[in-house]
C-alpha cells in the first residue's frame, strides 16, 4: 500500500486529507510542522509528501531545499499553499517539487495530482535486477530510491565508496537489461578518446572505478564524456573513495568536474551501519559458497551470527564473502560455531583464549608457526581494511615480504587490493 505524508499546521486540513486519501486506499501519516516532518522522514521514507509552504517553525520551501541539499529528496513532493504566488510555485518546482496545489484544494484536483505523482514513481528508469545482494533493510531501500531518482533525472552519478562496499553490484543494477557496461579500467582513454567509451556504451553505462586516480587531462576527458552522454543515451557512473570537497581543496579535482558531479553524490552504506542486514546476508552468502563447491550446506549457529553482527567489517561485503569462502572449505559437521568465526576474524574470545595454546601444542613447530603467522596476518589485514602498506607498517615488515607471506600462507584478500603488488 502506498504511503503519503501530509505536512500541514492546520488540523482540519490534515484530517480532511487523511479521510479523502484513506478512502482511496492510501496509507496516511501526518505531521503538524517542519520538525515533525523531519522526524517522520527520518523514521521512514514515504511514497509521496504533501507539504504546506506556510508553517510556524519552518516554511515548506526551506524544508524542500534542506531535503534536496541532504540528498533526501527521494520521493515526489507536492507543495500546498493558500497564499501562493507564481514565483513561489516556480521556485518550488526548481528545487525539485513535483507539483504545486493552491488551497483550498478541490477533491478532484487533489486525487488527480496524487495519482500523477504516484505514477511518476512507478515509471522507474530501466535497471537490471535489484539491490538485494546488499541487504533488504531501510538503508538499501533508501539507496535504491536515491539511485532511481538520480538516473530518472539523467544526472551523472558519483558513488562515495568504502572498501568492498559493493559498488560493482550497484553499477550492474544501473545498467539496463541487455545494454553494455563499459569500465574505464585504463584511465588514459579518458584523455585520448573519451567519445569511444560513449560509443561502446550506447544505451548503457560507462563506469569510472576511481575518480581520485585521474590526472587533470583525464578529468577533462571525463568532463567531456559527461557533457556528451545524452548524445549516446549513456549513463555515467563514477566511484571515488574520497569526498569531492576534499579532492577539490587538495587541487586533485577540477572545478568543472566537481560542478558536474556534485548534484548526485550517493554514499554507499557500510556493512557496520546496517547491522540488521548481516544475519540474513551472512546466511545467504555462506549457502552460496557451499553451493559453488557442491558441498552440503552448514548453517551458522545463533552465537556465530551474533559475532558476525557485532564485528566492524572494515572490508564490508567483500570481507564477508571472503570469510564465507574460507568457512565453506572447513571440514566439519553441524552449524558453524562462534569460535570458528571469531578465529578467522581475529577476534579473541574466552574460548579461544583458553584453548588456543592447547590446539597449537600438538602441532610440529613449523606448522604451529605457520598457523600463527596466518592467523596473525589475517587479523592484522582485517584491522587495516586489507591495505597492504598499512599492514606492512604495523607488522614491521617490508611490503614485498608481506606480499610473499600472504601468497605463501594462502591468505585470501577480499575484493580488490588497496595497493598494487610489487614486481
**Where do the CATH 1.10.8.60 domains begin and end in the chain?**
271-353
Whether 214 has a pLDDT exceeding 70, the answer reads: yes
What's the sign of the alpha-carbon dihedral 373, 375, 381, 386? positive
pLDDT tens sequence across 25-41: 999 999 999 999 999 98
CA–CA dist 287, 369 (Å, integer):
32
Phi-psi map region of 25: left, alpha, beta (phi>0 left; psi -120 to 50 alpha): left
Catalogue the E-assigned strands of 135-225: 157-160, 181-183, 205-208
Cell of 182: 563499459
pLDDT at 423: 45
pLDDT at 365: 72
Whether 75 has a pLDDT exceeding 70, the answer reads: yes
CATH of the domain spanning 363-423, picked from 1.10.10.60, 3.30.420.40, 3.40.30.10, 3.40.1260.10? 1.10.10.60
Average pLDDT for 198-217:
93
* Cβ–Cβ < 8 Å for 213, 242: no
Greater confidence (367 vs 389) lies with 389
Average pLDDT for 165-188:
91
Cis peptide before 109 (omega within 30 of 0): no
CA–CA dist 113, 97 (Å, integer):
12
pLDDT at 124: 47
| Strands 77-81 and 48-52, sheet pairing | parallel
Listed as own residue / partner, the contacts of 302-309 with beta carbons closer than 8 Å and 24 or more positions apart are 303/337, 303/338, 304/335, 304/336, 304/337, 304/338, 304/340, 304/341, 305/278, 305/279, 306/338, 307/338, 307/341, 307/342, 307/345, 307/347, 307/349, 308/278, 308/279, 308/282, 308/341, 309/275, 309/278, 309/279
Whether 126 has a pLDDT exceeding 70, the answer reads: no
Average pLDDT for 269-273:
93
Average pLDDT for 311-340:
92
Average pLDDT for 184-205:
89
Whether 415 has a pLDDT exceeding 70, the answer reads: no
Whether 352 has a pLDDT exceeding 60, the answer reads: no
Whether 355 has a pLDDT exceeding 60, the answer reads: no
Whether 84 has a pLDDT exceeding 50, the answer reads: yes
Greater confidence (407 vs 238) lies with 238
Cell of 183: 569500465
Greater confidence (103 vs 88) lies with 103
pTM listed for this prediction: 0.55
- On the 0-12 / 13-18 / 19+ scale of CB atoms within 10 A, 417 is middle
**Where do the CATH 3.40.50.300 domains begin and end in the chain?**
132-269
pLDDT at 150: 83
Whether 276 has a pLDDT exceeding 70, the answer reads: yes
Span of 115-124, 140-149, 165-174 with lowest mean pLDDT? 115-124
- CATH class (in words) of the domain with range 271-353: mainly alpha
Span of 232-246, 284-298, 389-403 with lowest mean pLDDT? 389-403
CA–CA dist 118, 176 (Å, integer):
22
Average pLDDT for 56-66:
88
Q: Which residues contact 134 (CB under 8 A, 6 or more apart)?
A: 140, 143, 166, 169, 170, 269, 277, 317
Mean pLDDT of the chain: 86
pLDDT at 353: 43
pLDDT at 85: 63
3-122: CATH number:
3.40.50.2300
pLDDT at 219: 95
Nearest CA to 244 out of 264, 224, 230, 227 is that of 264
Greater confidence (124 vs 301) lies with 301
Cell of 15: 484530517
Q: Which fold has domain 132-269?
A: Rossmann fold (3.40.50)
CA 341 vs. chain centroid, Å, equals 26
Amino acid at each position: 500500500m502506498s504511503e503519503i505524508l501530509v505536512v500541514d499546521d492546520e488540523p482540519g486540513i490534515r484530517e480532511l486529507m487523511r479521510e479523502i486519501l484513506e478512502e482511496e486506499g492510501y496509507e496516511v501519516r501526518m505531521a503538524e510542522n517542519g520538525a515533525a516532518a523531519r522526524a517522520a522522514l527520518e523514521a521512514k521514507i514515504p511514497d509521496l509528501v504533501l507539504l504546506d509552504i506556510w508553517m510556524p517553525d519552518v516554511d515548506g520551501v526551506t524544508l524542500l531545499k534542506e531535503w534536496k541539499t541532504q540528498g533526501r529528496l527521494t520521493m515526489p513532493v507536492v507543495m500546498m499553499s493558500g497564499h501562493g504566488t507564481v514565483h513561489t510555485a516556480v521556485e518550488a518546482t526548481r528545487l525539485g517539487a513535483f507539483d504545486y496545489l493552491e488551497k483550498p484544494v478541490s477533491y478532484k484536483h487533489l486525487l488527480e495530482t496524487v495519482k500523477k505523482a504516484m505514477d511518476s514513481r512507478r515509471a522507474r528508469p530501466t535497471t537490471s535486477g535489484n539491490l538485494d545482494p546488499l541487504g533488504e533493510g531501510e538503508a538499501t531501500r533508501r539507496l535504491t530510491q536515491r539511485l532511481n531518482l538520480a538516473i530518472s533525472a539523467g544526472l551523472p552519478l558519483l558513488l562515495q565508496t568504502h572498501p568492498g562496499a559493493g559498488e560493482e553490484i550497484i553499477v550492474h543494477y544501473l545498467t539496463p537489461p541487455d545494454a553494455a557496461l563499459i569500465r574505464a579500467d585504463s584511465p588514459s582513454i579518458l584523455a585520448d578518446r573519451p567519445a569511444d567509451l560513449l560509443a561502446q556504451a550506447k544505451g548503457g553505462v560507462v563506469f569510472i572505478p576511481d575518480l581520485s586516480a585521474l590526472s587533470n587531462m583525464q578529468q577533462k576527458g571525463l568532463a567531456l564524456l559527461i557533457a556528451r552522454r545524452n548524445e549516446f543515451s549513456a549513463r555515467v557512473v563514477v566511484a571515488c573513495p574520497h569526498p569531492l570537497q576534499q579532492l577539490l581543496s587538495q587541487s586533485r579535482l577540477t572545478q568543472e568536474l566537481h560542478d558536474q558531479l556534485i548534484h548526485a553524490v550517493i554514499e554507499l552504506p557500510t556493512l557496520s551501519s546496517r547491522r540488521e542486514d548481516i544475519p540474513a546476508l551472512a546466511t545467504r552468502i555462506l549457502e552460496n559458497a557451499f553451493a559453488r563447491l557442491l558441498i552440503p550446506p552448514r548453517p551458522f549457529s545463533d552465537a556465530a551470527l551474533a559475532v558476525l553482527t557485532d564485528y566492524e567489517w572494515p572490508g564490508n561485503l567483500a570481507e564477508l564473502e571472503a570469510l564465507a569462502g574460507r568457512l565453506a572449505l572447513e571440514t566439519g559437521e553441524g552449524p558453524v560455531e562462534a569460535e570458528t568465526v571469531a578465529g578467522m576474524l581475529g577476534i579473541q574470545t574466552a574460548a579461544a583464549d583458553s584453548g588456543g595454546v592447547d590446539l597449537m601444542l600438538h602441532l610440529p613447530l613449523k606448522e604451529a608457526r605457520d598457523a600463527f603467522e596466518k592467523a596473525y596476518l589475517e587479523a592484522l589485514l582485517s584491522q587495516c581494511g586489507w591495505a597492504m602498506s598499512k599492514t606492512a607498517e604495523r607488522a614491521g615488515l617490508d611490503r614485498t615480504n608481506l606480499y610473499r607471506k600472504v601468497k605463501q600462507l594462502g591468505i585470501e584478500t577480499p575484493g580488490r587490493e588497496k595497493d598494487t603488488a610489487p614486481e
